[in-house]
């Protein structure tokens, strides 16, 4: 096979496109939740409660992680692998910190008397933040593939490709959380 079929480098563009399409389907998934939230809220019988303060801190953490990933990408482009590794680790740890913060937010909700069961207003909060958390976990796995690329000395082309995939996905779940938080905040 002389041309492009087995030459993976020519397959980067379609694969990147696939990631974008996955982002689109994910957007629809969460759009369904938030639309359901609005429809259900409009029907009445809706408990109103305050959002836990921790969500503010987790939002700050996730934005910071986006910044560090951006820097890591920049360092990768400059072929500064040591710095790239450092900022990748920072991103990874901020991602973990975000998950821990979300866990504390749930604990605060429970202490406020908002449970998964009961009035749907609380259930929605758990389901929405829970499925966003699953996306973060998926994002962490993608970051691991980048770390592997950086440590095993893959070709710069592949290293940059993985960084690009991770950037698309990680910035997406960052923006997604900001949207979800604002949505929940404005609908309190």
Partner 1 sequence: MYNSVKKEKMEIVLNQHTEQMTHHGEHAHHDSFWTKYVFSQDHKMIAKQFLITGIVMGVMGVMMSILFRIQLGWPDKSFPLLEALLGKWAEGGRLKPEFFLAMVTIHGTIMVFFVLTAGLSGTFSNLLIPLQLGARDMASPFMNMLSYWLFFSASVVMVFSFFIETGPASAGWTIYPPLSAVPKAMSGSGLGMTLWLVSMTLFVASTLMGGINYISTVLNLRTQGMDLWKMPLTIWAFFLTAIVGLLSFPVLVSAVVLLIFDRSFGTSFYLSDIVIGGQVLPNEGGSPILFQHLFWFLGHPEVYIIIMPALGITSEVIATNSRKPIFGYHAMVYSLLGITILSFIVWGHHMFVTGMNPFIGGVFMITTLIIAVPSAVKTFNYLATLWKGNIRFTTAMLFAVGLVSFFISGGLTGLFLGNAALDINLHDTYFVVAHFHLVMGCAAICGMFSGVYHWFPKMFGRMMDEKLGYLHFWITFICAYLVFFPMHFMGLDGIPRRYYAFTEFEFMKEWLSINVIITWAAIVGALAQVAFLWNFFYSIFCGKKSEQNPWRSNTLEWTTPVEHIHGNWPGEIPTVYRWPYDYSKPGHEDDFIPQTVPHSLTMSSNLYSDLNGNEVAEKIQADWNQQHNRTVEDFH
Beta-carbon contacts of residue 38 (< 8 Å; ≥ 6 apart):
187
* 1 belongs to the binding site for partner 1 (CB under 8 A): yes
Identify the CA nearest to 98 among candidates 183, 185, 176. 176
Q: Which of 9, 29, 79, 93 binds partner 1 (CB under 8 A)?
A: 29
Q: Which of 56, 127, 178, 184 binds partner 1 (CB under 8 A)?
A: 127
Which stretch in 24-32, 74-82, 149-157, 173-181 sits in contact with partner 1 by CB under 8 A? 24-32
* 103 belongs to the binding site for partner 1 (CB under 8 A): no
Cα→Cα distances 129→29, 85, 125, 181, Å: 13, 29, 6, 9
- The 3-state DSSP class for residue 22 equals helix
CB of 59 to partner 1, least distance (A): 23
Determine whether 10 is exposed, middle or buried from the number of CB atoms within 10 Å of its CB (0-12, 13-18, 19+): exposed
Residues 130-149 that bind partner 1 (CB under 8 A): 131
* 48 belongs to the binding site for partner 1 (CB under 8 A): no
* 187 belongs to the binding site for partner 1 (CB under 8 A): no
Q: Which of 8, 9, 31, 157 binds partner 1 (CB under 8 A)?
A: 31
Q: Give how many residues touch partner 1 by CB under 8 A.
A: 38
DSSP string, 66-87: HHHHHHHHHHHHTT-HHHHHHH
Interacting residues with partner 1 (CB under 8 A): 1-5, 11, 13-15, 17-18, 21-22, 24-26, 28-33, 35-36, 39-40, 43, 45-46, 116-120, 123-124, 127, 131
């Amino acid at each position: 096979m002389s041309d492009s079929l087995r030459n993976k480098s020519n397959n980067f563009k379609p694969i990147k496109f696939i990631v974008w399409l996955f982002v689109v389907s994910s957007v629809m998934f969460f759009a369904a939740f938030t639309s359901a939230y609005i429809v259900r809220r409009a029907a009445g019988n809706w408990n109103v409660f305050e959002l836990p303060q921790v969500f503010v801190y987790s939002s700050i953490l996730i934005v910071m992680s986006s910044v560090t990933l951006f820097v890591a990408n920049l360092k990768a482009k400059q072929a500064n692998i040591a710095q790239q590794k450092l900022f990748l680790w920072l991103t990874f740890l901020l991602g973990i910190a975000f998950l821990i913060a979300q866990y504390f937010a749930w604990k605060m909700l429970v202490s406020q008397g908002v449970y998964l069961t009961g009035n749907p207003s609380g259930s929605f909060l758990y389901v929405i933040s829970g499925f966003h958390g699953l996306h973060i976990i998926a994002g962490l796995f993608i970051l691991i593939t980048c770390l592997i690329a950086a440590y095993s000395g893959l070709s710069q082309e592949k290293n940059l490709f993985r960084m690009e995939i991770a950037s698309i996905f990680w910035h997406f779940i960052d923006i997604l959380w900001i949207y979800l938080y604002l949505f929940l905040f404005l609908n309190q």
